[in-house]
Structure 1
Amino acid sequence: MWGILGACFLLFLFAGIPIALVMYMAAALGITAFAGFDPTILVQQLFSGLDSFTSLAVPLFIISGGIAANGGTSRSLIDVIQVIFGRFRGSLAISTVVASAFFAAITGTTLATIVAIGAIMIPALLKAGYPKKFACGIVCAGGTLGILIPPSVPMVNLSVAMGSSVAKQFTAGFVPGVLLALIWCVMVVFYCRKAKIDDRKYYTRAESVKAFKNGILAILYPVIVLGSIYGGFATPTEAAVISIVYVSLVELFFYKSIKLPDLLRSAGQAAVTGGGILMLVAGAKAISWFVAANQIPAAVASFISANISSRFVFLILLIVIFLVLGMFLDIIPLTYILGPILATTLTNFGVDFAQFGIICILCCQLGNLTPPFGMCLFMTMGVAKESLPNVAKGAVPFIVSMAAFALVCAFVPQISMWLPRLLGFT
Structure 2
Amino acid sequence: MRVGIAGAGAAGLATAWLLDGLHDTLLLEARSDIGGNLRSMHPPGGTGTPHALDLGVQEVPLHLAGRTARLADALGLGDGQWTELPSGHAVVCDGAAAGARHACRTGAEEADAAVGLLSEQAAAWQREAVPWTVPLQDLVEPWDLPRHVKDEAVYARPASVFGCTLREARRLSARSVGAFYADPGKEADARTYRLRGGMQALAWQLARRCRSARLVPEAALRRVRRTGGHLEMVDSRGARHPVDAVVLALPADAARRVLGSTGGTGRIRSLLNTYAYHPLVYGVHDDPCYLPADRGRWAPTTVSVHGPWAESTTWRERPEGDLFVSQLTHRDVRPRSVLATTAFRTLQPTPAMLRAQAELLGAQGRGGLYFAGHLTTRVDDLDSVVASAADVARRLAPESPRLAQLTTTTGKESR
Which of the five TM-score ranges fits, normalised by the shorter chain? under 0.3
Name the one with the larger strand percent.
Answer: 2
TM-score by length of 1: 0.24
